[in-house]
A and B are shown apart, each in its own frame.
Chain A
Amino acid sequence: MTDDTEAETETPEVLAAEYVLGTLASNERERARTMIENDPAFAQLVRAWELRLGQLHAMVAPIEPPPETWARIQARLDGTDPSTAMLLPHPDHAARVVAEGNVVQLRRRVDRWRQATAALAAIAAALIAFVATSVVGPDMLPGGLRPKPVEIVRTVEKPVEKIVEKVVERTVNPGRFVAVLQQDAASPAFILTIDVATRTASVRRVAAAPQAGKSYQLWLVSDQFPKPRSLGLVGTNEFSQPALASYDPAVIRGATYAVSLEPEGGAPDPDNGPSGQVVFSAKLVEAVPSSP
Chain B
Amino acid sequence: MLSSQELVWLLAAVAKADRTAFERLYAATRAKLYGIVLRILRRHDLADEVMQETYLKVWNSAGQFDPALSSPITWMVAIARNRAIDMVRKKTEVSIEEESDVLETAAAESPDPLAKREITEELRRLLACMGRLDEERRRLVLFAYYGGWSREQLATKFATPVNTIKTWLRRALIEIRECLGS
Interface residues in chain A, defined as those with a beta carbon under 8 Å from any beta carbon in chain B: 9, 13-14, 17-18, 20-26, 29, 47-48, 50-66, 68-70, 72-73, 76-77, 84, 87-99, 101-103, 105-106, 108-109, 113, 116-117, 119-120, 123, 126-130, 136-158, 160-161, 163-169, 171-172, 180, 182, 185, 189, 191, 206, 282, 285-289, 291-292
Q: How far is the CB of A133 from chain B (nearest CB, A)?
A: 11
- CB of B107 within 8 A of CB of A29, answer no
Most chain-B Cβ atoms within 10 A of its Cβ — which of A68, A87, A151? A151
- CB of A62 within 8 A of CB of B44, answer no
The residue in chain B whose Cβ has the minimal distance to the Cβ of A93 is B63
Inter-chain contacts of A64 with B (CB < 8 A): 30-31, 34, 106, 109-111
- CB of A26 within 8 A of CB of B106, answer no
Chain B contact residue count (CB 8 A cutoff): 121
The residue in chain B whose Cβ has the minimal distance to the Cβ of A152 is B71
- CB of A24 within 8 A of CB of B150, answer yes
Most chain-A Cβ atoms within 10 A of its Cβ — which of B11, B17, B61, B142? B142
- In the bound assembly, the distance between CA atoms of A120 and B92 in angstroms comes to 41
Contacts A24-B151, A62-B35, A185-B125 given; 17 further ones with Cβ under 8 A? A21-B145, A24-B150, A29-B85, A48-B182, A50-B74, A56-B142, A57-B74, A61-B35, A62-B34, A63-B106, A66-B44, A94-B15, A109-B67, A120-B180, A139-B157, A142-B146, A287-B142
Inter-chain contacts of A20 with B (CB < 8 A): 78
Q: How far is the CB of A121 from chain B (nearest CB, A)?
A: 10
Given contacts A14-B170, A130-B130, contact A136 B114 (CB under 8 A): no
Partner of B70, one of A9, A47, A140: A47
Given contacts A89-B63, A164-B118, contact A72 B52 (CB under 8 A): yes
Q: How far is the CB of B148 from chain A (nearest CB, A)?
A: 5
Interface residues in chain B, defined as those with a beta carbon under 8 Å from any beta carbon in chain A: 1-5, 7-9, 11-12, 14-17, 19, 22-23, 26, 30-32, 34-36, 38-40, 44, 47-48, 51-52, 55-56, 59-75, 77-78, 81-82, 85-86, 89-90, 97, 100-101, 103-104, 106-132, 135, 138-152, 154, 157-158, 166, 169-170, 173-174, 176-177, 179-182
Inter-chain contacts of B119 with A (CB < 8 A): 58, 147, 150, 160, 163-164, 180, 191, 206
Inter-chain contacts of A96 with B (CB < 8 A): 63, 66
Given contacts A64-B34, A94-B12, contact A22 B145 (CB under 8 A): yes
- In the bound assembly, the distance between CA atoms of A144 and B113 in angstroms comes to 8
- CB of B113 within 8 A of CB of A62, answer yes
Q: How far is the CB of B90 from chain A (nearest CB, A)?
A: 6
- CB of B144 within 8 A of CB of A22, answer yes
What is the predominant secondary structure among interface residues of chain B facing chain A?
Answer: helix
- CB of A87 within 8 A of CB of B60, answer yes
Q: How far is the CB of B95 from chain A (nearest CB, A)?
A: 11
The residue in chain A whose Cβ has the minimal distance to the Cβ of B72 is A152
- In the bound assembly, the distance between CA atoms of A286 and B143 in angstroms comes to 13
- In the bound assembly, the distance between CA atoms of A120 and B176 in angstroms comes to 12
Q: How far is the CB of A96 from chain B (nearest CB, A)?
A: 7
Given contacts A97-B67, A149-B116, contact A65 B1 (CB under 8 A): no
- In the bound assembly, the distance between CA atoms of A144 and B51 in angstroms comes to 20
- CB of B122 within 8 A of CB of A56, answer no
* 19 A/B residue pairs, CB under 8 Å, sorted by A: A13-B177, A22-B148, A55-B122, A69-B34, A77-B56, A77-B59, A84-B56, A96-B66, A97-B15, A102-B12, A105-B67, A117-B121, A148-B117, A149-B1, A156-B122, A185-B124, A206-B119, A287-B138, A287-B142
